[in-house]
Chains A and B, each alone.
Chain A
Amino acid sequence: MRRKFIVLAAGVLVAAACGGSQPEPVTPAPVAIDSTAIKEQMRQDSIAAAERARAEAERRATEAALAAAALITNQLTAEVHDMINFDFDRSDIRMEDEANLDRKAAIMMANAAVRMRIAGHADDRGSDEYNLALGNRRAESAKRYLVNQGVDGSRINIVSFGEERPLDPAQTEEAWTKNRRDEFEMTAGASQLVAPN
């Protein structure tokens, strides 16, 4: 900073010396000029700092809002992904799963961009090929339920895994119960979800 002012002062001297035929008494550049510049600089700096603080606050607020939204999205995603289970060789929705599906329907209605894939699964006690049909029927059942709640059917796609992808390969009643299920996956519009009213 200091060095710059000295150079500047020297420059003024040279300019004056080479200037005109009418020599003026040479006086050194007053220090007061520099002081104004510094004040101006400080003013600018303080504006910038305020600007930065405001941006930072804004960024933090946005971040917090995003985090809150992400939290909501995560919660809603988990609710959509929550599986439902079926009785042996049955594809009708059990009463205890209706609230679960009602919630999924509400979330889909509040988020029009969401598309869903429902995958039906079976335990391995049934026939291999029949289980593909059974899984399909289980996926269809959940889709029909959601459509009856007002979700546009074209937003839901169904597939069946039959007994090809068990959650638990054990040959126990507990494992079979787990494996008879519908899985729900959002295939589009799931990056940010809003909670239904």
Chain B
Amino acid sequence: MPEKQEGALSVYRILDITDQRGTFCARLLADMGADVIKIEKPQGGEARNIPPFAGDLPHPEKSLYFLHRNTNKKGITLNIETPDGKAIFEKLVKSADVVVESYKPGYLKGLGLDYKALKEINPGLVMASITDFGQGGPYRDWKSSDLVDFAMSGAMIGSGYPDGKPTALPGSPGDDAASYSAAISIVTSLYMRGSTGNGQYIDASIHENSRLGLYPWGLVMWYSNVRSDQPLPPPAGRMGTMIYPVFPCKDGYIRAVALTPRQWDCLVEIIGKPEVLCTEEWREFYFRIGNADALNVLVSEYTRQYTMQELFEKGNEAGVPIAPIYDIKGFVESAQTKAREFFVELDHPVVGKYKCPGTSFKCKDSSFGIRYSAPCLGQHNKDILCEELGLSINDLAALRRAGVI
């Protein structure tokens, strides 16, 4: 097999000392070719305990969360609270480009490993802290979680049924949004460093970034409704079913989004032009939003006569965006997912061979994509500590006994 081309970030070494929160940031960089070393405490990080597990039985190498979020990383163990562990970490920092961390604000300073200290070792170091609320301010020491991030993002109030509960967006959306923001800041800093030689410190708050990653329009939409007569839906309402209607089919549901009159005409066309829908008022987007329940009853009668796939194809050929509400299997097995080879086979030392989601992008010249599965605990201790830092196997044994690795 020919050698892979250079990845966009393959000259960079990233030290990832995050556990659960922020760990996606380094994954994003790894997917573009960066050499990421995940550094865990000797007994392993908490993220290894997050269910479900491959084969369902709890096992530190089988958390699906850990496997997904740490794909493409190498892994070593290190207790940075011990003097020896700290010294090893400092050696690694010396030749690294980036440190990503998510400890509670002040923790690394207590160890003498904050940015100020690390910059002394490596003036070109780029360091990002990804924390729940940021490094300062009244909420600095508050605690968050995926659900709390989403609640405070401004997006949850609009999520779910109009008369139902605000409903969580699955996954870790706030954390992911902050991971994106931190990764953008990191690559910006590396790009700048190319001409200035200077390092950079980045403070990424999950709270601040979650709203921007999910719904940056929230504020302007609200102000617009308060301050003008714009015919727009109230942004605070849960309007998903009204703006982006869902209709039943023979074998499931489709979502059909007609924003323009032309798209609406196409929708009416493909379900057989029922007379009751051919009036001028239904062509008006805001009229449809305002009469969503009535519309649903009328349209459902016709969409029920088709399968999801039939309407998916008919709609898109005619010019109205329609998609099936695929379940997870539906997406994984869809013709498009297969044609793009989104899922990639990996071979993990403990889990064995499995198919994992790949990268959402393909690049012509700098491609890298998926290279290896998430590291087992301490899998690369020998590669990094012996071959790079020159420790002996006996040194490793002693460090292990002392609880350092």
Q: Do A and B bind each other?
A: no
Chain A residues with CB under 8 Å of chain B are none
